[in-house]
Structure 1
Amino acid sequence: MLFRFSQGQSFGYLRGVVMILLGLALLFSPEFTLVSIARLVATLFIVKGALAGISLLLSRGEQRNPGLLLECIIDLGIGLLVLYNPGGTVSFFVVILAIWALLGGLLMAFSFNTLRRVGVTNWGLFMSSIIALSFGLVLLFEPLQGGVALATIIGAFSLVYGIANIISVASGRTM
């Protein structure tokens, strides 16, 4: 018996399978997957920069857009930098996430202190600040291992999301 799927169902199953494959790749080989994703992004930047350069060369006279030159230079520069050093790029983004977590943790700690002074004690806010600060410090001092840990967490999420998506499509509901 052949199964017939609507276009929406086919897309739903495809989305679920892609998320499961991404999840498995991130769970079983997070370093390789992160570097592969960084290289893919680098390739996209290089292609985008090259297309901006071609567009600039093909434009005629007054129609030239000086922004295209800037876009071409920036995209090619970022693409080549990421392609040359994908591990460093992953570490850079992990450090940015670490700084964000540290700032968020500090703001929560200040909020807890301010609320405590007026007589309101929110221990959930205090614990959230401790967790965010700890998370930020770990990511800041061990960015590569932090990136691997984040990739593993994202992989687990992707795997569960993909399975849930397939179950949802099979049962006739959409996610």
Structure 2
Amino acid sequence: MNNFTFRSPLANLLSKNWWIVLLRGIAALIFGLLTWFYPFITIIVMVIFFGVYALIDGVMGVIISINGRKSHQDWWLMLIWGIVSILAGILTFFVPGITWLVLITFIAVWALVSGIFQVITAIRLRKTIQGEWWMIIAGILSVLVGIILLIDPVQGGIALTWVIGVYAALFGVMNIALAFRLRRFAIHQVN
């Protein structure tokens, strides 16, 4: 056995799928650059995508609930969820400002939670791989973005596209660097 053998199943999983981390990084970098150069289009597109997603999610929820009404006693919960999603989708197209505020809050919570989990994952990997600090920095950036957006969502919404652009580009670069480290470990592990 060489000194690159991983003792962690998570590290093994990441090293074997290093290319997914690379694609994730490239996608984040491209998204960040587009957001930075086209902030107003980004706002409109985000709201439209959310509205379309909510409508599709709602319709699927209603279909699932109707199909499961004979076999599941809690089918009505899915029906309510579906109806709420459909209404949210419709509301998005008629009152986009409210949707934008809700979307900012959703992004803030997502950034905060995903950043915390990324830091935890990096800490768990610190004895297994080198370069885990890339994940820690990306996680901390995510947490900071979440906190900033939760403190003042209205003003945060104005700056959100710039913040998202910088965050996504940095996150992308860090994931690209991490992917190449993981690839190196995967190559050494095979040999």
**TM-score, scaled relative to structure 1:** 0.59
- Which runs of structure 1 show a deviation greater than 3 angstroms over 4 or more consecutive aligned residues? 59-64, 83-88, 91-97, 171-174
> For the structure 1 residues 61 and 86, does the alpha-carbon distance in structure 2 shift closer, same or farther, using more than 3 Å as the test?
same
Supply the distance in 1 between the matched residues of 2:25 and 2:72 (Cα, whole angstroms): 45
1:171 matched to 2:181: yes
1:152 to 158, 162, 184: 162
1:21 is aligned to 2:38: no
Select the residue among 50, 74, 91 that pairs with 2:84: 74
Instruction: Give the secondary structure class of the aligned counterpart of 1:171.
Output: helix
CA 1:31–1:85: 2 relative to 1, 3 Å: farther
Q: Is the 8 A contact 1:16 1:163 kept in 2?
A: yes
Q: For structure 2, which runs of at least 5 residues remain unmatched after alignment?
A: 1-14, 108-147, 186-191
Counterpart residue identity of residue 84, structure 2: I
Counterparts of 1:135-146 in structure 2 under 5 Å? 136=152, 140=154, 143=155, 146=156
Contact 2:47 2:103 in 1 (8 A): no
**Residues 156 and 51 of structure 1: CA distance in aligned 2, closer, same or farther (over 3 Å):** same
Structure 1 residue 19: Cα displacement: 0.6
Query: Would the alpha carbon gap of residues 96 and 41 (structure 1) be closer, same or farther in structure 2, given more than 3 Å must change?
Result: closer
Q: Which residue number in structure 2 is paired with residue 10 of structure 1?
A: 19
Q: Percent identity?
A: 23
Change (3 A) 1:62 1:166: closer
Distance in 1 between residues matched to 2:25 and 2:40, nearest whole Å: 23
TM normalised by structure 2 equals: 0.54
Q: 1:56 to 1:20 in 2, by over 3 A?
A: same
CA spacing shift, 1:59–1:153, aligned 2, 3 Å: closer
Partner of 2:9: none
Following the alignment from structure 2 to structure 1, what is the Cα–Cα distance between the partners of residues 179 and 37?
26
Change (3 A) 1:50 1:95: closer
**Aligned residue pair count:** 127
Q: Distance in 1 between matches of 2:101 and 2:91?
A: 13
- 5+ residue gaps, structure 1: 1-5, 98-131
Report the secondary structure of 2:17's partner residue: helix
Q: Give how far 1:37 is off.
A: 1.9
Distance in 2 between residues matched to 1:20 and 1:150, nearest whole Å: 16
Are 2:99 and 1:89 equivalent residues in the alignment? yes
